Amino acid sequence: MCGIVGMVGQGPVNQEIYDALLLLQHRGQDSTGIATAESNGIFHISKARGMVREGFRTRDMRTLLGGIGLGHVRYATKGTASNEEEAQPFYVNAPYGIVLVHNGNLTNTRELTDELFHRDRRHLNTSSDTELLVNILGSELQSEIGGPDLDPAQVFAAVTRVHERVEGSYAAIALIAGYGLLAFRDPFGIRPLILGTRAADPSASVGESIGVEAVGHSGGYEWVVASESLVLENAGFEVVRDLLPGEAVFITLDGTLHTQQCAPTPQLVPCSFEYVYLARPDSVMNGIAVYESRLRMGDRLADTIAKYTPIEAIDVVMPIPDSSRPAAMQVARKLGIEYREGFYKNRYVGRTFIMPGQAVRKKSVRQKLNAMSSEFKGKNVLLIDDSIVRGTTSREIIQMARDAGAKTVTFASAAPPVRYPHVYGINMPSREELVAHNRTIPEIAEELGCDYLVYQEVDDLKAAILEGSDVTDLDMSCFDGRYITGTVSAEYLAWVEGSQSS
Amino acid sequence: MCGIVGMVGQGPVNQEIYDALLLLQHRGQDSTGIATAESNGIFHISKARGMVREGFRTRDMRTLLGGIGLGHVRYATKGTASNEEEAQPFYVNAPYGIVLVHNGNLTNTRELTDELFHRDRRHLNTSSDTELLVNILGSELQSEIGGPDLDPAQVFAAVTRVHERVEGSYAAIALIAGYGLLAFRDPFGIRPLILGTRAADPSASVGESIGVEAVGHSGGYEWVVASESLVLENAGFEVVRDLLPGEAVFITLDGTLHTQQCAPTPQLVPCSFEYVYLARPDSVMNGIAVYESRLRMGDRLADTIAKYTPIEAIDVVMPIPDSSRPAAMQVARKLGIEYREGFYKNRYVGRTFIMPGQAVRKKSVRQKLNAMSSEFKGKNVLLIDDSIVRGTTSREIIQMARDAGAKTVTFASAAPPVRYPHVYGINMPSREELVAHNRTIPEIAEELGCDYLVYQEVDDLKAAILEGSDVTDLDMSCFDGRYITGTVSAEYLAWVEGSQSS
Amino acid sequence: MCGIVGMVGQGPVNQEIYDALLLLQHRGQDSTGIATAESNGIFHISKARGMVREGFRTRDMRTLLGGIGLGHVRYATKGTASNEEEAQPFYVNAPYGIVLVHNGNLTNTRELTDELFHRDRRHLNTSSDTELLVNILGSELQSEIGGPDLDPAQVFAAVTRVHERVEGSYAAIALIAGYGLLAFRDPFGIRPLILGTRAADPSASVGESIGVEAVGHSGGYEWVVASESLVLENAGFEVVRDLLPGEAVFITLDGTLHTQQCAPTPQLVPCSFEYVYLARPDSVMNGIAVYESRLRMGDRLADTIAKYTPIEAIDVVMPIPDSSRPAAMQVARKLGIEYREGFYKNRYVGRTFIMPGQAVRKKSVRQKLNAMSSEFKGKNVLLIDDSIVRGTTSREIIQMARDAGAKTVTFASAAPPVRYPHVYGINMPSREELVAHNRTIPEIAEELGCDYLVYQEVDDLKAAILEGSDVTDLDMSCFDGRYITGTVSAEYLAWVEGSQSS
Amino acid sequence: MCGIVGMVGQGPVNQEIYDALLLLQHRGQDSTGIATAESNGIFHISKARGMVREGFRTRDMRTLLGGIGLGHVRYATKGTASNEEEAQPFYVNAPYGIVLVHNGNLTNTRELTDELFHRDRRHLNTSSDTELLVNILGSELQSEIGGPDLDPAQVFAAVTRVHERVEGSYAAIALIAGYGLLAFRDPFGIRPLILGTRAADPSASVGESIGVEAVGHSGGYEWVVASESLVLENAGFEVVRDLLPGEAVFITLDGTLHTQQCAPTPQLVPCSFEYVYLARPDSVMNGIAVYESRLRMGDRLADTIAKYTPIEAIDVVMPIPDSSRPAAMQVARKLGIEYREGFYKNRYVGRTFIMPGQAVRKKSVRQKLNAMSSEFKGKNVLLIDDSIVRGTTSREIIQMARDAGAKTVTFASAAPPVRYPHVYGINMPSREELVAHNRTIPEIAEELGCDYLVYQEVDDLKAAILEGSDVTDLDMSCFDGRYITGTVSAEYLAWVEGSQSS
């Protein structure tokens, strides 16, 4: 899980990319990076561990010159979070000079690494699959080099070859020195990427002309590509559209847009977890409003709760803040039960200092949440969360509710049981650590310590997300074990689990 | 507006004070400080600009030794926010050695400054009224010095004299080197302060014995005094009670509690703004649950809205996150209108970098909030905020709603019009800057740009807060101009406004 | 060993005090601090661990407003070097507000601490004798408070009482808020302090009028008081004179100088170690040029070397850089032997990083010095050092010379054997750690591993320093065990050694 | 002017490279960098602005894993000093992965840049000629790729091609991922580079076997390549020899050394400025001891001084510390005049803070040097400096001597007049700024303000350096305008001067 953004402006883009990264901060807080390019092709790159706010100082920003750039926030999916060398963007200087950022996860990394080393003599300095991706792209662009200049057709040919060689999920943005910005999305569109534009002169209106037909129009427009639509909304860009699965977009330095479908049989199968948990509620992704989809998850969850639990005994419905709030509100509304926010989220998180001679304090949900006794005392409460993964947090929350005086605790998850690993870019534990792995719902309830436990049905989640949309399929692999890309074998899953646990 | 905490433990208190300050961070983010004392009387003090998380490093924490301590988060009410020298706590080394933190605002500072200089030859190095307060306390303790040791009666006598000399609002906590922790609250109890305890041995239960009668019991207990009750709840302390107006509490190093009423005619008149906006919703203050009081504000506001606006035309009710959420929910519920969260608050706030040759970007509400077009398009929206002070934010929010497609915008404030300065510790602009100053409600509505504007009635706010409570009066001076302490004259107000604007 | 400076200017003094501290950096590198006062009496204080260059950032300097100030560099003599709380200056806020810096060491600290606590109820927060000194001064000033204003006579009366109560060595500078700068030197003048002046308008010449008779003249002059004369020279101040032993100087904010002898029987007995090692060679201290005194030490040492060793066999004379260079040059010249700089001092000192799983590297002289093999190979070398304390460094240097190929190594010290502790402000080890303690010179030679060892005679050192000067006595206690102040008993020495080793 | 070091060890090399960079710090203080490689080919790179001590923190060092590495200290010769992106080492990831550091200056950069872009499609992100060099090396290695592995012959073939393409001065060290360390020196050996070795087991002695014949021996040895021999001496390495002009050394990961002459007609013409000023006196460079050469410069300068000035009137000879000390001592000795160190160098250099409303203070030699009046008053002084470039410092020093009371000032330079730009890696001003450009010696004397001015003769400098050595030629281009490499035309000089002044 990462957040990416790229911009082609007619003035400096450093501050706007920084602002966009703040808006995408929820997608990754382990490291961050910005790269910009001047019109003479000079790149400026600044990366840092941790969050955006702490990562860039004035002196960093002042070096980030240029009217074209990209940025990244990283949530480590593989490797150790503290590994600064895996911070994106990654840079290769041949051919042309390319910097690239990437959201997703490649699943045939071992084959690709071998090819690069033995065939291309390219050195990979990390185990990051982003470094792999920029080198694959570089090696394909190298083989396209013909005449004196790089043209869009060559770029699209290289992306086509990337799609052939690479398997997994990827939404990527790259700068090619001296030429422009390239963005592309994998042939299943698993990870999101959306394109926006605005008139360079803010007094001019963008008008109705923006759409697929905008291809080839030039001058006077600024462009943005980002993981989520709220970046566009916040910075005054108009949405053009989500990139299609397999599509590539190439915007030259002068602001001319080129697009091309680079996959033979693209098929949109977006990741369902974006709607469940990852995306900001104010984003619209593949035409589906995230907030609305969460409300619908609540509507459907309410029915399932009513089916399986004695709802007449419930006094109050409460969300686990923040992401389950829309679902919880709809559950309360539909079931006609009082809605209260009995948990308060501590916004200001600090550190536990290691003092000489003192034992290390256990990390606890209590540092993140406070339960108001006045709301729990003597009540039968129904707690709504967006999903249950390991179950450790849920167990602590249920205990907090009891400590605060709850008489009974019913727990409901707006997502179905998570029983399979997620290999498309969300950091999840190995199967053994999933509380729903090899357990029935009553066994899970016992494990969590709640009186009743209700999960969303798989079909209901799918329907809640897709309702009213043109999208017809979803990646729900962690719920149903169906992996849309070819290479996810039992052997691969074992390997992923091994490398993540190290 | 500040947050304070003090602890008497039986082991190191540095980490717990740090944790408490994080929980009070919403009360002030301009500076922070912690002081601890070892049993031999040595103080350790660490202060920093900005927020708690950035203010203390491991090496700072390692110096903060001792089983007794206090902490502070500051929201600058007077002076410039960036003035590190005004960070609390303040220290005087004679008599005994005293460090003190303070939430509130003194209103007879000029007289006190003169007295201290001419009578006591005490040097004030800042314009902070906390430095003033610790020197007044020190000078009164000095005049109490008699026998070889300091006893509680002397401490309470000094506090009694402080009440006589000082006017304004103050909740204060002090450490007296080698003796213990002193806490006291002004004779009107304007600012909050609550006392908690727990068994030093966590396996022992505190039991029923804690109450006013606990006075004088010794040993085996740890104590906390804090601005808000959630600090107690979060750290496993049991609430003893709010300090009474005028009351002082003195806890000696061995954990013995002494309390005394030090004012002749105490009267509880707590600040209403704590309930409106300042306090965390999960706090209980003067026996009144803040969250519940906000729900009641919503109930009453709904009636007023129904009275003055065509509610049948409204499609949706929306809060301005976060503090107006409970009120908004109750408005929606009571009026039977759909509730939606159309604004999303950007949690990760960054900076605007000054680039050579670029103009400074205007600060805007848009950096803090995002309006989801999907929720606004074509709708008649009712926006609920907790209060309206300057009106600039409200105006921007209303414009954002319109830009996002709202057909009409009705705006309602859960608090009445703010027409007078707040002199009891909340930083407010001068009267000229208050949008409600010298304006009728229609004039304000025009200024804000909304279609309809509704304010809570003054009596309704009072009733909403006090309903079901033993408290009978409230400081509502910024709404009604009644100042409970003596010295708030027109001249004083003019002076306050002058010094704040500088 | 510390360095101090104070200034009364007619404009901001922060940068000049900072520059002066850089020039005094050789006197202490453990911590540093600057205090300034504005004409309204507001103090600004900034302290930091480590060196001046790293201790002050632009934002620190911008707060150090005011036309009067003082500064300090600290070499920890007592307590741990890393104790930031012992960084100077120290501040007390009653009476008047005083900040003080101090070079020296008090020897009756235990009595003073008791008096302060029991009589004055003054709290000492550290074990620093500077905090003690500012409180003694404060308590004496308090008892002088009479009329509405502080006059010089009161200040001098307080200093007189300080001399009566305090024993040991001290050169001190203080700011009294709203009044001026006070400087005083102990009745034996053990530690140095020198007064300088310049016309505020640099185009005016200071002229002949400066001298004792300048007392009382006012306006148009800026003043500096510092540990060493080079500070004056470097900043364009003209030397007025060294402060007399027991003398106090009080300069009011308007630039008027007042001086008075505050000791009944002052007697100048300056510390000989300043000339041997501490002071910069370009300083003139008590009328004696340090560089010249070191040349004379070389002249006399040459005679002693000739008396005790076979100098005809020596091929080359080498200094241990930097402080023994003048002596070594004179030895070479007088003995007619080739002079070479075979050791090169590494100016850029780094750190040894602790790597997981690696052993900690031993600190070694080799990180500080490099021996050029070409200068040592096959030669009989005579090494000159300024003094020998523990002997560990000397032993390592002798071994380095042998490793670089020296045939024989003769070692000579420009100071006599150090056999007694130094209690007047230079950090020295306990007697047991002194290589000369309870050892004869042949035994020391064996311990150090040199072929011949020569020490300066005690009388020669005294004569070398005093030659051509009006000064008649010197503190040479670490060489001869004679302590000029009263309280240095065997018990005290044992206590000092105990507290230093902890 | 830069300093470089590379190591092949049998354990971690990070701390030793760090220590070596401290010893080379005098060669550059603008930026620094270290790269290491693990045996699996992973590089770790850490770079920083400023000095070594401030550039690396523990967390940086902990990432610098691996038994092979290199380091750099940079003195900006081209570009702006503050440009962090030009800090070395530079990395390219194809072929193999190469990091490289470089001391020197290329003179055909424009041609090389064009070639790289048009022929190789390699992107240069800076104007650093080090980035150019690593790309030239990379492109030549790429064209050598044949079988499955890289062998030394391929590496040497690539260096041979580098010598053919590149003009200028360069001593370079590179790591090739997974293979080893490569070092090479330009065909004229203008910049220094020396090879050392030690037994990996320190108890084993290296013995007589080290020499050219060591080529090909394997195992049990650790290797270092560095700009100066003192690095070897300090870390316990034995000198193997200076690299020959045009020679390349390739040490594989297992410690096997391979060397080969890669230039058809190598010729040793080392830079004379290393001996005059750059190198540390304790280094031996090309078999010439730097300290001894400086003593000989003094001997010969003495004769010239005696020839042109009335030496009988001179009272005292003084060096300008530190680098002219050996020459000055020999001048004093040979002329039989008293030697004194009247200038003292301030070791602790701080900053000038910009205060609001204050004018910026002029930088002055007085911040770096102090003149002791006692040594100057009434004397005729002879000042010796190592060289005179712009003349501004000399002029200020002469004025300081006069201000300190000197009767007459004779100024002598141990180097001849600098009349031409230095294009081989020393940052020098354009011709117009050189005080000796287009001026006769009397005109220069007048410009500097001294009574007499003496310069070393060009032949004397050459003879002083070469005396007793096998080296037969020297680069003295800045004194005589003879540029040994082909491409230094008038046009090139004009371009260099233009780009430096920008």
Degrees, nearest 5: CA angle D193-D199-D204: 145
Q: Which token pair is D450?
A: 């001294």
**pLDDT of D413-442, one tens digit each?**
999 999 998 888 887 788 889 999 999 999
Q: What is the mean pLDDT of residues B397-408?
A: 96
| DSSP string covering C174-194 | EEETTTEEEEEE-TT--S--E
pLDDT at C502: 34
Contact yes or no for D122 and A94 at CB 8 A: yes
User: Given the DSSP bridges, would you call strands C238-242 and C257-261 parallel, antiparallel or unpaired?
Assistant: unpaired
Torsion of CA A223, A226, A228, A233, to 10 degrees: -20
> Phi, psi at residue C190, to the nearest 5°?
-65, -50
With an 8 Å Cβ cutoff, are C14 and D289 in contact? no
β pairing state of C452-455 and C408-413: parallel
With a pLDDT cut of 90, the percent of chain B lying above it is 76
Q: Provide the Cα torsion D469, D474, D478, D481; round to 10°.
A: 140
What positions of C carry a catalytic annotation?
Answer: 2
User: Do A288 and A321 meet the contact criterion of CB atoms below 8 Å apart?
Assistant: no
Q: Is the pLDDT of residue A69 over 90?
A: yes
Q: pTM score, two decimals?
A: 0.88
Nearest CB to C96: which of B42, B92, B121? B121
| pLDDT of A454 over the 90 cut | yes
The per-residue pLDDT for range A276-333, each reduced to its tens digit, is: 999 999 999 999 999 999 999 999 999 999 999 999 999 999 999 988 999 999 999 9
β-partners of residue A261 are A247
| DSSP per residue, B146-185 | -SSS--HHHHHHHHHHHHHH--EEEEEEEEETTTEEEEEE
Q: Give C65's pLDDT tier (boundaries 50, 70, 90).
A: very high
Report the distance separating Cα B384 and Cα B331, nearest Å: 9
pLDDT of amino acid D500:
47
Reduced to 3 states, what is the DSSP secondary structure of residue D454?
strand
The DSSP secondary-structure symbol of D432 reads G
CA distance B424 to B431: 15
* N- to C-terminal Cα separation, chain A: 19
CA distance C375 to C340: 8
Residue B349 forms contact with A (CB below 8 Å): yes
Radius of gyration of chain B (CA): 24
Task: Give the pLDDT confidence score for residue A352 in this predicted structure.
Answer: 80
| Contact (CB, 8 A) for B132 and B113 | yes
- As beta bridge partners, residue D68 has D8, D37
Chain D environment of C371 (Cβ under 8 Å): 233
Phi, psi of D212 (to 5 degrees): -55, -35
Is D262 a residue of the active site? no
Segment B410-418 mean pLDDT: 98
Mean pLDDT of A362-381: 89
The Cβ of residue C169 has, within 10 Å, a number of other Cβ atoms equal to: 28
Number of Cα atoms under 13 Å in the Cβ half of residue B114: 3
Q: Measure CB to CB from residue B145 to each of C121, C125, C177 and give the nearest one.
A: C121
For residue D322, is the peptide bond before it cis, meaning its omega torsion is within 30 degrees of 0? yes
Indicate the residue type of B24: L
* Lowest-confidence region among B244-258, C76-90, D169-183, D457-471: C76-90
Q: Write the DSSP assignment of C35-57 as a string of letters.
A: EEE-TTS-EEEEEEES-HHHH--
Q: Do chains C and D touch (3 or more CB pairs under 8 A)?
A: yes
Q: For D91-131, how does the pLDDT look when each residue is reduced to its tens digit (9 = 90+)?
A: 999 899 999 999 999 999 989 999 998 888 899 998 899 99
For residues A134-139, average pLDDT: 96
Query: Residues 141-200, chain C: which have Cβ within 8 Å of B?
Result: 142, 145, 148, 177-178
Selecting from C289, C358, C371 the residue whose C-beta is nearest the C-beta of D374 gives: C289
Is B385 one of the annotated binding-site residues? Answer: yes
Answer yes or no: is pLDDT of A210 > 60: no
What pLDDT digit, counting tens, does each position of D279-330 carry? 999 999 999 999 999 999 999 999 999 999 999 999 999 999 988 999 999 9
Residue of C121, C131, C137 to mutate for B, most B C-beta atoms under 10 A: C121
According to DSSP, the β-strands at A408-413 and A338-339 are unpaired
Domains and CATH numbers, chain D: 3-268 (3.60.20.10), 289-501 (3.40.50.2020)
Could you check whether the bond before residue B187 is cis, i.e. omega within 30 degrees of 0? Answer: no
Residues in binding site of D for Mg(2+): 323, 385-386
Which one, of B352, B355, B365, B321, lies nearest residue B339 by Cα? B321
- Kindly report each contact of residues C472-477 with a partner whose C-beta sits within 8 Å and lies 24 or more positions away, as own/partner: C472/C268, C473/C267, C473/C268, C473/C269, C474/C269, C474/C270, C474/C271, C474/C272, C475/C188, C475/C190, C475/C269, C475/C270, C475/C271, C475/C272, C475/C424, C476/C272, C477/C420, C477/C422, C477/C423, C477/C424
The two tokens of residue C338 are: 């080739």
Give dist(CA A475, CA A272) in Å, integer.
6
pLDDT at C283 over 80: yes
Q: For residue B492, give how far its alpha carbon lies from the nearest alpha carbon of chain C (Å).
A: 23
Best of B290, B353, B375 to mutate (most A CBs within 10 Å, chain A): B353
Tell me: pLDDT of A216 over 50: no
Is A315 a known ligand-binding residue? no
What rounded mean pLDDT belongs to chain B?
90
Q: Do A94 and D97 touch (CB under 8 A)?
A: no
* Lowest mean pLDDT segment, chosen from A374-378, C135-139, D205-209: D205-209
Q: Distance from CA of residue C213 to its chain's centroid? A: 29
| pLDDT exceeds 50 at position B49 | yes
Whether B357 has its CB under 8 Å from any CB of chain A: the answer is no
Residue type, B152: P
A85/D121 touch (CB, cutoff 8 Å), yes or no: no
Q: Is the torsion defined by CA of D159, D160, D165, D169 positive or negative?
A: positive
In b/e form, how buried is each residue of A384-417, taking b as 16+ CB within 10 angstroms?
bbbbbbebebbbbbbbbbbebebebbbbbbbbbb
Closest-CA distance of chain D to residue C176, Å: 25
* Least CB–CB distance from C58: residue in D353, D370, D371: D353
Per-residue pLDDT reduced to its tens digit, B115-133:
998 888 899 998 899 999 9
The pLDDT tens digits of the residues spanning B146-176 come to: 777 899 999 999 999 999 999 999 999 999 9
Q: Which residues of C9-148 form beta strands (DSSP E)?
A: 31-37, 43-49, 68-74, 90-92, 98-106
Q: What is the mean pLDDT of chain D?
A: 90
* Tokens at B432, concatenated: 């000229």
